[in-house]
Amino acid sequence: MIIVMKPGASEDQVQHVVDLVRDFGLKEHVIHGTDRTVVACIGDKRHVDKSAIENASMVERVVPVLAPYKMASREVRGERTQIRVGPRQFPLGGRQVGIIAGPCSIESREQILLLADVAQKAGCIGLRGGAFKPRTSPYAFQGLREEGLKLLAEARARTGLAVFTEVMSIEQIPLVSELCDVLQIGARNMHNYALLEAVGKADKPVLLKRGLSATLEEFLLAAEYIINAGNEQVILCERGIRTFEDYVRNTLPLAVVPELNDKTHLPVVVDPSHGTGHAHLVPAMCRAAVAAGADGIILECHNDPEHASSDGAQSITPATLYELMPVLKRIAQAIDRDV
């Protein structure tokens, strides 16, 4: 249920509505829009006297939210949410499309600094790199862990890029929050509700990847866990889903982008690297993602893909990234955006 206040409602009038909502045992989220304030109510509505709220002063209307995800829903917040990331506070979800590039895993100081310089020179807004890696095999490279995070922080200080890295468990959150800008929840952890609630208590933006076999509704309900725990800075990331198809590692369903833009106010980022698994498919999927209305792209880039510790096959080279960026800019401009 959302309570839409009339334009010009005072803080006291909003507070009065909040008090009523609490009296009915509901939890409130107050959203200040450009011209009006909305009070979203979460909880069991069976004992709510809707007319008592409707009669409060400066209440325009009370409307039910039909989607099972509430705070993530476009019904609750009509305007798109912009999430500012990194030292330069780039607004993901604004007019400009943000490109984030970097290796799957941080492998060494030389490697991450080199790729940070590449990303910066190419015009990216962010640098990605895994320090804690969720590998399918326990014998595969697991990441440089804390040392990797420190190298990422060094790359950030050197370039001013926003740094994105995965947090795999609750214990890692304080350290990752201290050293990085955006906490990535990997596809394998989209259903880890304890972890979602824990990043919901962190004060950093979260990049939430869609689970390998999650429906859109499950994806948005995972975002709802984070928002409901107190963190409204959720960036959704489509990274491909598992299908019967085997010429790609995952199938990248780009229709998700306009569908999410319709259903939610949260920014949507596409990962064409995990979404295809093959470097030669990545540039075309980046072009298509921008054309489809994505707010950002997160891709894997490596200076020596053949010797990468993880995901070399899907990592584009710096030369490909340099060629791609001006093309993405032209596509963005064709739909009144920019890169």
In the complex, the residues that contact Mn ion under the rule CB under 5 A are: 104, 311
Q: Which does 301 bind (CB under 5 to 8 A by kind): Mn ion, ligand PEP, none?
A: none
Residue showing tokens 């922080």: 153
Binding of ligand PEP by 209 (CB under 6 A): yes
Q: Are 303 and 318 in contact (CB under 8 A)?
A: yes
Residue from 29, 70, 239, 265 touching ligand PEP (CB under 6 A): that is: 239
Q: Which does 28 bind (CB under 5 to 8 A by kind): Mn ion, ligand PEP, none?
A: none
Q: Is 186 in the site for ligand PEP (CB under 6 A)?
A: yes
What residue 187 binds from Mn ion, ligand PEP, none (CB within 5 to 8 A, per partner kind)? ligand PEP
Name the segment binding ligand PEP (CB under 6 A); options: 82-90, 186-194, 301-309, 330-338. Answer: 186-194
How many binding residues for ligand PEP (CB under 6 A)? 9
Closer to ligand PEP at the Cβ: 134 or 253?
134
Distance of closest approach, residue 239 Cβ to ligand PEP, in angstroms: 4
User: What DSSP string runs through 168-236?
Assistant: -SGGGHHHHHHH-SEEEEPGGGTT-HHHHHHHTTSSS-EEEEPPTT--HHHHHHHHHHHHHTT---EEE
**Hey, what amino acid is at 176?**
V
Q: Which CB, 274 or 302, lies closer to ligand PEP?
A: 274
Rounded-to-integer distance, Cα 60 and Cα 33, Å: 14
The residues, ordered by sequence, that sit 6+ positions from 304 with a Cβ below 8 Å of its Cβ are none
Q: Torsion over CA of 253, 255, 258 and 264, rounded to 10 degrees?
A: -50
Residue owning tokens 């866990």? 225
By CB under 6 A, tell whether 187 contacts ligand PEP.
yes
Contact set with ligand PEP (CB under 6 A): 104, 130, 134, 186-188, 209, 239, 274
